[in-house]
């Protein structure tokens, strides 16, 4: 990780499917520092690296401070559905597939009113800094 900070020309970083579990959150702290401070990094894929909920949210919050990041892939890490909605709303993230996030819920959304509430949380219009 320290080498990535020293390489000021790197733009894309793919560390997907590598085990980065830690009891001290070392990886997420260093990666959040990279996200907020690196002059050119634009895209990071850390799918399925074993991050805990707190680590994923911490890195998502670091996105707000970044001036260069365009994409951060977090698929396969521990984050519940409503936590993902919260993180997307907080960072004003765009969802590429409009109904992909609700399709997996099946019968968990009980009525149309609850569906509309979830969609409002996920939309950018509900966010005011």
Q: Are residues 99 and 112 in the same domain?
A: yes
d(CA 1, CA 90) in angstroms, rounded, equals: 26
What are the pLDDT digits (tens) for 64-115? 888 898 888 888 888 888 888 888 888 877 665 555 555 555 556 666 677 6
Mark whether 95 and 74 lie in a shared domain.
no
The count of C-alpha atoms lying within 13 angstroms of the C-alpha of 70, restricted to the half-sphere facing its C-beta, is 7
Do 63 and 3 share a structural domain? yes
Q: What's the number of domains the chain is made of?
A: 2
Q: What range does the domain containing 119 cover? A: 80-129
CATH number, residue 69? 3.80.10.10
Same domain? 3 vs 54: yes
Quick: pLDDT tens for 2-47: 888 889 899 999 999 999 888 889 999 999 999 999 999 999 999 9
Residue reference for tokens 């680590």: 55
Same domain, 105 and 42: no
Instruction: Mark whether 11 and 64 lie in a shared domain.
Output: yes
Residues 61 and 115 in one domain: no
Co-location of 75 and 86 in the same domain: no
12's enclosing H/E stretch is: strand 12-14
Q: How many CB atoms lie within 10 A of CB 73?
A: 15
Phi, psi dihedral angles at 42 (to 5 degrees): -120, -25
């Amino acid at each position: 990780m320290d080498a990535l900070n020293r390489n000021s020309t790197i733009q894309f970083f793919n560390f997907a499917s590598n085990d980065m579990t830690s009891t001290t959150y070392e990886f997420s702290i260093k990666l959040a520092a990279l996200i907020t401070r690196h002059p050119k990094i634009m895209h990071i894929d850390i799918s399925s690296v074993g991050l805990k909920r707190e680590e994923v949210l911490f890195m998502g919050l670091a996105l707000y401070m970044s001036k260069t990041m365009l994409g951060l892939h977090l698929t396969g890490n521990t984050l519940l559905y409503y936590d993902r909605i919260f993180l997307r709303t907080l960072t004003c993230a765009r969802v590429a597939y409009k109904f992909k996030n609700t399709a997996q819920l099946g019968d968990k959304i009980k009525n149309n009113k609850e569906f509309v509430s979830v969609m409002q949380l996920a939309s950018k219009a509900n966010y005011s800094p």
